[in-house]
Structure 1
């Protein structure tokens, strides 16, 4: 496990999307203007807040479920039949984030999905995967991996890690199909690391032979054993926020804090002692502002 990325102790994750994860509100600039939303995002503000907190790496979503992507992509437009700026943003937010984070030596990492733009039915059909999302095919995964490959080639070694959501065994994902994503992200950076998410579990697993565990949990309550999964770096990902309805699951991108500063400091220390790292999902506003209470909890952990 010699990848430099794995030396980190903790980092931040945000969902910046056209829509919102269930139960959250991302304070959209407008209901329909994805280009307006991406243009309004202040990447310098993001970088400054991450530096203030002492975060060592930063994950941001490229997309989730819809046709709206965080940067231009010719491959997507060709398959989907969309014009530049119609689905993928005109602004290359990822390239701008790379520039903004570089002075602070904060690693940029990206979130992608294994189910494509399934909610936009006509485009989802062109890729080959729509509701009820029962079984992925090699044709779908190949098309969707080619979109990913374009990003990988563009950004090269500026992207240190990838977290691929929705790679569920219930959709009949297997090692052969997941390897298409692995090849795509390594086309631009052979040293990047990747994790495949097979859903929230009460335990850690290394699905798809990833370089690190996807480690999705609903709270910071799982304490891993030292080097729990041989060959994979232990990584825990959970949301710090609290849902408005007080349900314990799915508080992604929410305001508020479910754990106090002392708890988070102790939790990160214990995961680090077991050889792991902790990724903390927090709220991001339309202009890139983080939740102030969450900033206060996380600063200089």
Structure 2
């Protein structure tokens, strides 16, 4: 990868508070023009990592680099409650050397121009988050860092924020998005980094982390079906779900062969479909080492990231 394609990176980035290691030797790379998902449960070390990347706190060891200028929304927007959204942005713009035209541009960008004269304290949570993003967009920075931008939003607000992030990337900007919402990251991100307990577990493309498509089978009697499945996919290539189905790590074109082998063994096949792991299941596997299938993985992961 060309060095000019990197807009942010860390190498062995570490932050220690007393005897607690908040971030432990995190190495990651954000590429130009992508939506990069920084994924992990609350308390995993995401915000601390972003603060070090932005120079807001000093690392204990390791290095962090981000292109300049950078726009950021970290831990929610902070504005004067009795000023309007427009007045808040104008105050911020003057301190950063921008004119009122830039304020109007970013208000339009986040669809708040019509509510710009309303007081900030009267904004909904979604509007407050969008005003925070507007502040981050001032000066048209190449890199935009958003820390949990959909936190606390209702479904409509979450959809609006996702659409905005996608639109920013389509316009050529790079977005580093931290989130504990795995389905959200799966939907809009190009690459992701998975962090837990301060350690980076995996980094890569969403499709790469999710892995290939597998085959899901429900058949009886189950012990005999399991034996056939393990013969076809290997001992490590079969996972059992809580609803009695089997996940076989085989390409989908092997489904007819799996069906033939099961039927030849006198096994009744009730269902055979193809399935692809979600990021929820990937995260659960990475953080727990579980070998359960999709149903167990999804449920446990949802609990883990709340």
What's the TM-score once normalised by structure 2's chain length?
0.32
Give the TM-score normalised by structure 1. 0.32
More helix by share: 2
Please identify the structure whose Cα radius of gyration is greater: 2
